[in-house]
Structure 1
Amino acid sequence: PVSIRVLQFSSQAAAAASAAPGSHSPVLADAVAELLVGACQGTRRPGSRILLLDATFGAGGHTRRLLRAASEASTPITVYANDRDPAAYRLAGQLSESLPPGSDSATVVPLLGKFSQLAEHAELTGVEGIDGALFDLGLCSTQLDEARRGFALSADGPLDMRMGGPAEADSPTAADLVNGLEAGDLAALFRAYGEEPMARRLARAVVERRSGPRGPLRTTKQLADCLADAVGSARRKDSLGRSAHPATRVFQALRIAVNNEFIELLSGLQLARQLLKPGAPCLVLSFHSLEDRLVKRVFANRSLDDLCCPAAWADAFKRQRSPQSLHAEPPPPPPQLWQLVRFDSNRGEDYLMAGPAEVAENPRARSARLRVGLKL
């Protein structure tokens, strides 16, 4: 078994201080800075440059906090700022251009692409090991604020949900899925990627609605209203016990499917490991149980058992409970690629969560879990 490194960590929440002005507040920004910048100070030659990958630049909050931490430590830093959203890529370019000219103490290198395309960036070719990587999963608040992106329940917009928007013309939209898949496939999708307990009922409601006189579902409001009518008066709550819209889990499932999020995440972690130096940390911030479960399995070197495909999930579930499986040869253990970090400040748990002060400042932080894997 892999020996678990126990990391001493203590940090006060300061999300607002690291946010881009008037926009998205990064979650656990101080923890990220200490783990990626602070932890490097004792293992590097004085004055040597830190190379970091921010795989999900978003609005740039975490990158800004990393730059600030490096400046406070008088340490040169380069952040490779990646995002599949062209709007985020433009923001990364603006940040890069805003840094003091003629100084190489802090540089930001904007990258545009999916996690699976990290190896294709010429800027990363020839880099002899980076010192840390960050994946902040899920949606950026700025994406939710734009109704035209189709992510939000609170504003009516086209059923798009592509992280890269129209630039990803070869990817299906959420409208393509809800209007094109059969009821059984929709139910499998809602159950696997949204953990929706009423998946069959909601799938039937979608098929009946699109087959009726009003025609296909084209907007977020049309889909949300259809699902709310199907649920009826039943009250819905999220995993934290808060009131939730009946369409919340379905919207999550559609977004994951449209963007192929789990396959992309697995590809990104694999490619990040190739870029990382031995012993360097990879940080992943997740916001729901499915992606957190996947990240933990990867960092704990456990088998994934086809967790990324709804149909495969169903088949694996049946196989696990079949009489033949009781006598099958056990699969070979997965290779030891990562070491999962445990935190003394969280009673030895293998994740960090935001404290009450940060949650009060940034409610989005309530469901976040930060896990760290060290490259072996």
Structure 2
Amino acid sequence: MMAGRQARPGERATEGAARHIPVLLDEVLATLTPRDGEVFVDGTFGAGGYTSAILEAADVRVIAIDQDPNALAAGQAFVEKYAPRLILSEGRFGDLDHIATAAGFPAVDGVVLDIGVSSMQLDEADRGFSFMADGPLDMRMSQSGPSAADVIREASEELLADIFFHLGEERRSRAIARAIGKARESSDITTTRQLADLVQRTLGRPRGDDKHPATRVFQALRIYVNDELGQLMDALSASERCLKPGGRLVVVTFHSLEDRIVKRYLTDASGRNPAGSRHLPPTAEATSAPRYRIVNQRPLTPSEKEIAANPRARSARLRAAERTSALAASPADEAHFGVIRPEGLTRR
């Protein structure tokens, strides 16, 4: 997932891994505090940065999860190196409790999640995550299911506008959706360059150091295609179900949408808002015993030194909480967290 989950500095476990630097690695380890005999879940394996660091820190086991076939193939070198302490599983981190149970560990001591898209995926033009180089408009982390091109071709203008506005915070979402609707009447939009150029023609060229006008649109499509916010909600609930009392949850986010969800979820789960909030209606869970104790009241952020070494770490935020002995709550109401699931696709 985003610019985290990468190989440790100086390691070359797989070809190209040295390009990637794990974000907030020291802070992640200090929060998880691995001890001999414990079991951890790395819900977003990527290039194995967090997984290998946890395994090196103590005599522990790690259940690592990824949905990207490329990451799973490259990760076999880690499996061989750390056998039998590493179990690498294909799947989505929203199912991490089921995956851990299937591996023989229904209760674990820690969970780490790195939310977003990995540097490896961003840097591969044929994955279609970025418009910095032309490639197919794909964006699928799992390399299966509907692609971004499918969404652009099949979604109604209304749905496209909702995706760009809610998941990309794009203020001119309707104008972009109308432009897409008109353009696809004559030909399909199938490449990253086609979409980026269309958005730029609609919004105008960037001024000075401003971001490319298509940045928010690409972010929104990526989040929608991969159900990133829905999977984050699922992963937060799954972590709550499988963590032992005293177990640690560590979540690293790279965007305000993700960080906002994690903050709200942990605030509610810690009992800090027993009457509900302006984002969530009062619930039975809100007045029950706290399910988490928040570890860091303010999110941890990268140092200037780390940002200089890895500019993609700039927006990273780390939030952590410790599981209590209270029963896990039922899944939260996703609508109040601004989650739009891909099931909402409407053909035109």
Letter in 2 for 1:85: D
- After TM superposition, list the pairs within 5 Å mapping 1:1-376 onto structure 2: 16=9, 21-36=17-32, 39-41=33-35, 48-70=36-58, 76-99=59-82, 107-121=85-99, 124-165=102-143, 168=144, 171-212=145-186, 215-233=187-205, 235=207, 243-301=210-268, 334=286, 335=288, 336-342=290-296, 349-376=297-324
Q: Distance in 2 between matches of 1:50 and 1:302?
A: 24
Show CA shifts across 1:160-184 (max 9, x none): 111101xx2xx22111111111222
Deviation at 1:356?
0.4
Show CA shifts across 1:132-170 (max 9, x none): 1100011111111111111011111111111101xx2xx
Deviation at 1:128?
5.0
Q: Distance in 2 between matches of 1:123 and 1:19?
A: 31
Deviation at 1:15?
6.8
Name structure 1 gaps, 5 residues minimum: 1-13, 42-47, 71-75, 237-241, 304-319, 321-328, 343-348
Show CA shifts across 1:318-349 (max 9, x none): xx8xxxxxxxx96556253222222xxxxxx4
Q: Distance in 2 between matches of 1:356 and 1:23?
A: 19
8 Å CA contact 1:300, 1:339 repeated in 2: no
Q: Distance in 1 between matches of 2:37 and 2:43?
A: 19
Letter in 1 for 2:262: V
The alignment covers a number of residue pairs equal to: 304
Instruction: Tell me: CA distance 1:197–1:127, structure 2 relative to 1, closer, same or farther (3 Å).
Output: same
Q: Distance in 1 between matches of 2:124 and 2:8?
A: 22
SS at match of 2:113: strand
Q: What's the C-alpha RMSD, in Å, of the aligned pairs? A: 2.4
Deviation at 1:267?
1.0
SS at match of 1:262: helix
Deviation at 1:260?
1.0
Instruction: Tell me: CA distance 1:19–1:280, structure 2 relative to 1, closer, same or farther (3 Å).
Output: farther
Match of 1:8 in 2: none
Q: Distance in 2 between matches of 1:224 and 1:133?
A: 37
Name structure 2 gaps, 5 residues minimum: 1-6, 271-277, 325-348
Deviation at 1:302?
6.6
Deviation at 1:279?
1.7
Deviation at 1:125?
4.8
SS at match of 2:313: helix
Show CA shifts across 1:198-236 (max 9, x none): 111111111121113xx0100111001100111114538
Q: Distance in 2 between matches of 1:97 and 1:125?
A: 17
Q: What is the TM-score when the length of structure 2 is the normalising length?
A: 0.81
8 Å CA contact 2:148, 2:225 repeated in 1: yes
Letter in 2 for 1:80: I
Deviation at 1:119?
3.9
Letter in 2 for 1:368: A
Deviation at 1:92?
2.3
Deviation at 1:98?
2.4
Instruction: Tell me: CA distance 1:337–1:17, structure 2 relative to 1, closer, same or farther (3 Å).
Output: farther
Q: Which protein shows a greater Rg?
A: 1
Q: Distance in 2 between matches of 1:252 and 1:267?
A: 20
Letter in 2 for 1:243: D
Q: What is the TM-score when the length of structure 1 is the normalising length?
A: 0.75
8 Å CA contact 1:354, 1:368 repeated in 2: yes
SS at match of 2:129: coil
